[in-house]
Amino acid sequence: MRLLAPTPVFTALASIFAFSASAFAAPIATLDRDGAFVSIEAYGPNVVHVTIAVDKAEVLKGPGYGILPKNSDNSAFRHTGGNRQTDVFTSSAMTVRVNPAPPPSVPTQGQKYFAPSLAPVGLQVLNAKGEQIVSMNGWEMSPQTVNTEKTFQVGASFSVARDEHYYGMGQNQESLGQLDLRGRVLDCKHWYDAPAGESVCVPFMVSSKGYGIVWDNPSVTRFVAGVNGRTSFQSNVGERVSFFIITGSTPEEIYSGYARVTGKTPIPPKSAFGLIQSKARYDSQQELMRVAKTYREKKYPLDVMVLDWFYWTRMGQMDIDPAQFPDPKGMNKQLHDMGMESIISIWPRYETSGRYFNELDAKGYLLKDKDGKTVDGLPFRSDRTGGLIDPTNPAARKWFWEKARDNILSQGFDYPWLDETEPDLVPSGFFYSIGSGDRYHNLFPLLHVEGVAENMRAWKPNKRVLILSRAAYLGSQRTGALFWSSDIHPTWEALARQVPTGLNMTASGIAYWGNDIGGWQNLPRESSAVKPPLLDPSDARDVVGNYHDYPELLTRWFQYGTFMPTLRLHGERKAAEIWAFGKQAEAVMARFDTLRYQLIPYIYSQAKFTHDTGAPFMRPLWMDFANDPNVANIGTQYMFGPAFLVAPVTEQGQTEKDVYLPAGADWYNFWTNEKLSGGRWVKVAAPIDQIPVFVKAGSIVPIGAEVQSTATKQAIAGINVYPGKNGEFRLYDDDGVSYDYEKGKSTVTVLKWDDAAGKLSGGGSAKVTVIGK
């Protein structure tokens, strides 16, 4: 990598952080490498934070936004070396070696013109076994001016192993099936208009070699994954290189390290795991209640009704139109009496003619241009108007929360939907209160959502926070948010893209990810199906028009959603409910809705697992089958908890699918109970009322009793055991609403299967079904 001569660091707006440097623990050591300063600090035995800069003050500032400096802990490490020798930092979990400065030498003729002006810095990382797993081979600080600031392009490059694979880096929807990022170049940035679907930057990469890298820079960052023997991060704005290396022999060890660095994932309220019904949009209180009552009349389980945008009188008015919703308090009481909760969309944008714009403008609470004038919409987005709240300003965050609470949430709504958190009003070229939108391009969703989350908990300290959010950043998992893949198209192609997209997003430490079941955008006027639809659309023409295969698409999407962390119907359609797409589609979706609720005890137990370990429970196959090289690039199927292997159907007219069963386990077809050996591809029947689902031998799956919502205490109706190997399942439960679980007020029932004895212990009086017996 060519390294250009640094210029003096621009200080006016360049490096403002949420905490002062004095708030951070001192690093283990700060090394001088002939004018390049290297700081090493730890966050426990398997996490090291590396900072490199030409200005010593920069490496001592501590980490950036999203990182929890209070969790810094150097106690596990010892430091040896120095005095122009290799500096070695060792714990029980990892070793980091920082190369000594090279001896002085006379530059060659070529070096006089092309050699880097920065002092070289190299380091190696070894795992607990003493095996080198990655090395940093170069770093960059190249001077440039961005959005009126004299700053640097900063970066670092790392080694690549021959058989190394890369995952994570947030939400990128370019892939139709491949999961491995190796060979790809990603621009890690929030980009609503990305051609394949919105991209979201969570700069956390996990390698198949047993380590992860957290890149600590919120500006637009280019990630090069194993191209020409180099893996690199390169950020557009910065005065230093800052990253964390996390090691682990299991995914759980890596993700627990990530949780120490950026925050634990809370357990959402139990209602988040039931069906969430939304539409863009319910036009009136009467319509919303009609939908809710129809669910109860049909006895289709439902937990949450969502009120999307334009319930207000004007964008940014932060009110509820009394003509459309004359009694929101009464509406929410009715929902609560029916065992349902509510989510309402609250936008951070303010029209110039609205009642709050002048106040926000005068107080400096909105995104500004270089002349200090509030940005009103974007010229290249003619449908956009209004100023964007500035969540980097604590006073603006407080103002937004108080108006959201007093004007909207106080009307009985349970949770907010914080839309436009990427945001649509791209901050590049503009300014927040803390600095340029280029420097902090990816920061909006963390600060905006966390500001609301913290205030919600203070407002109702024993009611769990739940927020629907359209984007994320490092640490966003700690806010109690559910994330989704934005305004995707209602097409088979978009459905196919969701599977690998979600698996790399969850691999980025964002466990609670989902998508709009059925796609959000308007339905195409015509079908592009080349096969006869598998479901009859004739009794849904008023909704689907001539999109003949849409009931089939929606049904396949709903089946996939049944095995996602959240199941939420949504879309800009005349109707979006289970019964609106024909009797045949309704019957299949109703069956899967029932299945979803039967699996809630199993799913809720996985929420506890994620809370404890940081690891996702919707996870790519490589996490559980690291010894099977065939799974490294499979992004079309995944594990849902420890038991279920799910292979969504994403092609129109498809009635069978090739599915890979990983080696190291036997597998049961969930629908037929047929037992198959792993380590091979199999062709699986996929009629319209099934998608391929397998259960790993040795699994224990609790089955919940039928309930209409999680507001009803759900008994365990039975326990299914899939023999062939000893197994254990920790069945977790709590009140599903409060934070008492943080105080240990919960129950854990340990179920154990002794395969040789054919006996399950811990099941109490629940009916036990041993599959295949």
Strand 47-53, strand 241-247: pairing: antiparallel
| Plot region of 374 (φ>0 → left; ψ -120 to 50 → alpha; else → beta) | beta
Residue 30's Cβ-side half-sphere holds a number of Cα atoms within 13 Å equal to: 18
How many residues are given for the chain? Answer: 773
- Residue 19's SS3 state is coil
**Cα gap 306→320, rounded to integer Å:** 14
Q: How many CB atoms lie within 10 A of CB 82?
A: 13
Q: For residue 35, give the DSSP letter.
A: T
Q: At what angle do helices 444-459 and 394-407 cross, to 10 degrees?
A: 50
Looking at residue 368, what DSSP letter applies? B
Give the CA distances from residue 731 to residues 599, 607, 643, in Å, rounded to whole numbers and listed in that order: 12, 11, 13
Distance, CA of 63 to CA of 39 (rounded, Å): 11
Tokens 């170049």 locate to 185
- Pairwise CA distance, residues 768 & 759, whole Å: 10
Q: Which helix (H) or strand (E) holds 140?
A: strand 132-146
Cis peptide before 222, with omega less than 30 degrees from 0? no
Sole residue written with tokens 């709903």: 558
Enzyme catalytic residues: 419, 422, 487
SS (H, E, C) 747-765: EEEEEEEECCCCEEECCCC
Strands (E), 662-758: 666-669, 675-677, 680-685, 693-696, 700-704, 716-721, 727-733, 747-754
* CA gap 571, 349 in Å, rounded: 22
The CA-CA-CA angle for residues 476, 490, 299, to 5°, reads 80
Token representation of residue 667: 């597998």
How far is the C-alpha of 202 from the C-alpha of 172, rounded, in Å? 10
For 638, residues 6+ apart whose C-beta sits below 8 A from its C-beta are 499, 503, 618, 619, 620, 621, 645, 646
Per-residue tokens: 244: 């964390």
- 8 Å CB contact between 386 and 315: yes
Burial class (CB in 10 A: 0-12, 13-18, 19+), 380: exposed
Indicate the pairing of strand 341-346 with strand 304-307. Answer: parallel
Q: Spell out where 574-692 has E strands.
A: 618-619, 638-640, 644-646, 656-661, 666-669, 675-677, 680-685
Structure tokens at 249: 């022999």
Q: For every residue of 506-532, which 3-state class applies, written as one string?
A: HCCCCCCEECCECCCCCCCCECCCCCC
Residue holding tokens 């436009």? Answer: 420
